[in-house]
Amino acid sequence: MPELPEVETVRAGLAPYMEGQVLARVDVNRPDLRWPFPERMAKRLTGRRIVRLRRRSKYILADLDDDNTLLIHLGMSGRMIISGDVPGVFHRPEPIPAKHDHVVFHMNNGAKITFNDARRFGAMDLLATAAEADHWLIRTLGPEPLGNDFHEDYLVARLKDRKSPIKTALLNQRIVAGLGNIYVCEVLFRAGIHPARKADKISAERVAKLVPIIRDVLHEAIAAGGSSLRDYRQTDGELGYFQHRFLVYDRADQHCLNGGCQSEIRRIVQSGRSSFYCPQCQR
């Protein structure tokens, strides 16, 4: 499933062709994805101007000029594909409509944005912008890891009584929003913390140091266009490249990349997810 860097990369790719533009037509080709689409979604979106594209956790939020917001969740395999003819910007031949092209946004600038989702775990919803914080997908989310509300004192306070493994705690969206399996593995390796170590047994000093490491990993991944392992693509169809910089994720039985370390990366399963770590470098 796309994590924060992949969703942010998609948002940034869409912004030049959607922000400030009017939805000239919206085609909704099925009644649902993971959940039913909002009632009359195509009609409610047609003619609306997209004022701003934002991201909250793993969701893309399109603020509209009628004080509503379109929430887009890519799910496991969702892709936003840009095509069409934008004067002075690009001409991308329109692909042959595919079986899994479920929603198509026709922009007044000539761009066409197609939401393709083979597994149909994605979702869309319409909500009142002012009531965003109360939406059922958003109301329980913790702070953004790249925002000002996520800082050393906050994380120390949230983890000091957590008896769950640190890996599980960092994946808890109520504690910090948007982190997923790939990037938590990479963060814990850089921090030298074993993924199974109980969160409340880690010193406040070591927990505090996680904050800048989390930000560094996310910034590096966003700059690389995210990580492409299976379905994920950027809006122009290109792969992300951060997977070429993985230090531990998906590297089981390979040599640790820390200079001087003679160990091999190991894999364990935590809460149904693979965790990769170096037994010598992570304690």
Among the options 56, 58, 79, 167, which is catalytic?
58
Question: Cβ(77)–Cβ(231) under 8 Å?
Answer: yes
Instruction: For 15-50, write each residue's pLDDT tens digit.
Output: 999 999 999 999 999 999 999 999 999 999 999 999
Is position 5 annotated as part of the catalytic site? no
93 is catalytic: no
Q: How confident is the model at residue 64 (pLDDT cuts 50, 70, 90)?
A: very high
Kindly state the percentage of the chain with pLDDT values over 90: 78
- Determine which of 92-96, 144-148, 267-271 has the lowest per-residue pLDDT on average: 92-96
Alpha helix positions (H), the chain: 4-18, 41-45, 152-159, 166-171, 181-191, 204-223
Q: Cα torsion at 125, 4, 132, 135 (round to 10°)?
A: 60
Pick from 36-50, 81-95, 131-145, 175-189: least confident = 81-95
Q: Which of 3, 6, 8, 186 is catalytic?
A: 3
Instruction: Tell me what percent of the chain is helix, strand and coil, each rounded to the nearest 5.
Output: 30, 25, 45
Task: Clarify whether 3 is annotated catalytic.
Answer: yes
Give CA–CA dist 230/22, Å, rounded: 33
Q: Which of 48, 197, 206, 273 is catalytic?
A: 273
Q: Which CATH architecture has domain 152-277?
A: Orthogonal Bundle (1.10)
Total H helices, total E strands in the chain: 6, 11
Q: Is 52 among the residues known to form the active site?
A: no
Given 2, 5, 165, 195, which residue is catalytic? 2
Residues 203-213: what's their mean pLDDT? 98
Inform me whether the pLDDT recorded for 232 exceeds 50: no
Q: What is the mean pLDDT of residues 263-275?
A: 96
Query: What pLDDT does residue 226 have?
Result: 78
Superfamily of the domain at 4-134: MutM-like, N-terminal (3.20.190.10)
Burial of 49 (0-12, 13-18, 19+ CB in 10 A): middle
State pTM to two decimals: 0.90
Q: Could you tell me the residue ranges of all domains in the chain?
A: 4-134, 152-277
Tell me the C-alpha to C-alpha distance, in Å, between residue 219 and each of 9, 73, 78, 178.
Answer: 11, 21, 22, 13
Give kind and range of the element (H or E) at residue 269. strand 266-270
